[in-house]
């Protein structure tokens, strides 16, 4: 199966260089406010797509268990070092376009700062839809092409692409901004209902960030976030969407029964200690350092 290219964070110091030393305390706190407003109070099994180094994971307090999924093993290793080796966290290295889970497994999912790396966003969203139960909640953050800065630059003739058209814009290799109407259309096509929209990072302006403390800016951002229900012109948008129905099916008791082969879709996989064997296609998937690795099959 051919899948779109992946923006690979393997070996990246993204968490330190972008977040901890990159002057992004304001954005981080503003996202925390948005997540608090959108997350359900309780849940059983959450899938965090593009979890990175687990920056947001401690915020998912209502969920009993969390699967941190990322393409980068080193991001997951960093997450594991930060969050610890608790049975509450399950670490999975895999491609979002080929999720290694059985259908209808999760009652919640989040995808923060990750859709913007998807060259085929509807295809990625369809995978998320597949692994969610009826009634599941999906919190999606996306980078908004219809943001004020892009609109001004376009009107002043400093930017060639139109922020008003629906197609995604690739502003840098494998980095995409999306139009809110396109996101709405894709979610509706997958039968998600949008319950809440918050606009985030309204005050992402160098001058403001230098002049005002991050906590104050985040508090002001919190006041502006609900305006997202009417108009989305901030650089980042958070959406809470839900699938119809309620789930009656019981989740497998055994963690290994959560998985299916990302290549052929067969399951369950056979536990071989250091590897999981797909009896459908014969591929073996490694398990090392507490990470289930579905990136490439082992060579046997
Ligand atoms: C910008 S980081 C965001 C990390 C985290 N969500 C956060 O907000 O701190 C994007 C993450 O998405 C992951 N990613 C990108 N493409 C992916 C794919 N196709 N499958 C799985 N993970 C992917 C990257 O490895 C990276 O860790």
Domain 14-143+169-251 has CATH 3.40.50.150: yes
The pLDDT of 15-26, averaged and rounded, is: 89
Q: What is the pLDDT of residue 223?
A: 98
Ligand 1 atom with least separation from CA of 9: 25
| Residue 231 pLDDT exceeds 90 | yes
Listed by start position, the domains of the chain span 14-143+169-251
Q: What is the pLDDT of residue 97?
A: 98
Ligand 1 lined by 55 (C-beta under 6 Å): yes
Q: What is the pLDDT of residue 17?
A: 86
Ligand 1 lined by 70 (C-beta under 6 Å): yes
| Residue 6 pLDDT exceeds 90 | yes
Q: What is the pLDDT of residue 20?
A: 86
| Atom 14, ligand 1: residue with shortest CA distance | 50
Ligand 1 lined by 115 (C-beta under 6 Å): no
Q: How does the average pLDDT of the chain come out, rounded?
A: 96
* Helix 25-38 vs helix 214-224: crossing angle, to nearest 10: 40
What DSSP state is assigned to residue 85? Answer: S
Q: What is the pLDDT of residue 31?
A: 98
- Residue 256: name the closest of 265, 243, 247, 267 by CA: 267
| Residue 300 pLDDT exceeds 80 | no
| Residue 1 pLDDT exceeds 80 | no
Report the percent of the chain where pLDDT is more than 70.
100
69: β partners: 49, 92
Ligand 1 lined by 163 (C-beta under 6 Å): no
CB 35 within 8 Å of CB 29: no
Ligand 1 atom with least separation from CA of 50: 12
Residue 20 CB burial class (10 angstroms; 0-12, 13-18, ≥19): middle
CB 262 within 8 Å of CB 99: yes
User: Among 8-12, 161-165, 245-249, which stretch is predicted with the lowest mean pLDDT?
Assistant: 245-249
Cα of 100 from ligand 1 centre, angstroms: 16
Ligand 1 lined by 60 (C-beta under 6 Å): no
The pLDDT of 37-57, averaged and rounded, is: 98
pLDDT band at 39 (very low <50, low <70, confident <90, very high): very high
Q: What is the pLDDT of residue 23?
A: 87
CB 300 within 8 Å of CB 284: yes
Q: How many CA atoms lie within 13 A of 77 on its CB side?
A: 12
| Residue 249 pLDDT exceeds 90 | no
Ligand 1 lined by 110 (C-beta under 6 Å): no
The pLDDT of 135-160, averaged and rounded, is: 98
């Amino acid at each position: 199966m051919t899948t779109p290219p992946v923006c690979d964070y393997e070996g990246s110091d993204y968490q330190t260089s972008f977040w901890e030393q990159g002057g992004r305390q304001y954005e981080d706190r503003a996202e925390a406010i948005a997540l608090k407003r959108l997350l359900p109070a309780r849940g059983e099994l959450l899938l965090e797509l593009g979890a990175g180094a687990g920056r947001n994971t401690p915020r998912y307090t209502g969920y009993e268990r969390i699967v941190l999924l990322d393409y980068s093993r080193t991001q997951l290793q960093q997450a594991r070092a930060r969050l610890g080796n608790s049975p509450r966290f399950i670490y999975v290295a895999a491609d979002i376009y080929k999720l290694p889970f059985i259908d209808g497994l999760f009652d919640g999912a989040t995808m923060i700062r990750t859709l913007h790396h998807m060259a085929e966003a509807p295809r990625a969203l369809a995978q998320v839809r597949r692994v969610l139960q009826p009634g599941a909640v999906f919190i999606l953050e996306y980078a908004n092409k219809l943001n004020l800065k892009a609109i001004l630059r376009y009107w002043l003739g400093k930017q060639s692409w139109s922020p008003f058209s629906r197609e995604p814009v690739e502003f840098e290799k494998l980095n995409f901004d999306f139009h809110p109407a396109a996101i709405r259309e894709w979610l509706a096509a997958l039968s998600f209902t949008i319950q809440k929209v918050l606009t985030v990072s309204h005050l992402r302006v160098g001058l403001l960030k230098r002049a005002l403390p991050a906590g104050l800016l985040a508090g002001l951002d919190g006041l502006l976030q609900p305006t997202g229900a009417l108009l989305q012109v901030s650089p980042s948008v958070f959406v809470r969407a839900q699938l119809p129905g309620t789930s009656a099916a019981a989740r497998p008791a055994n963690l290994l029964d959560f998985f299916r082969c990302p290549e052929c879709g067969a399951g369950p996989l056979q536990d071989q200690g250091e590897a999981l064997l797909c009896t459908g296609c014969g591929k073996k998937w490694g398990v090392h350092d507490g990470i289930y690795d579905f990136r490439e099959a082992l060579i046997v």
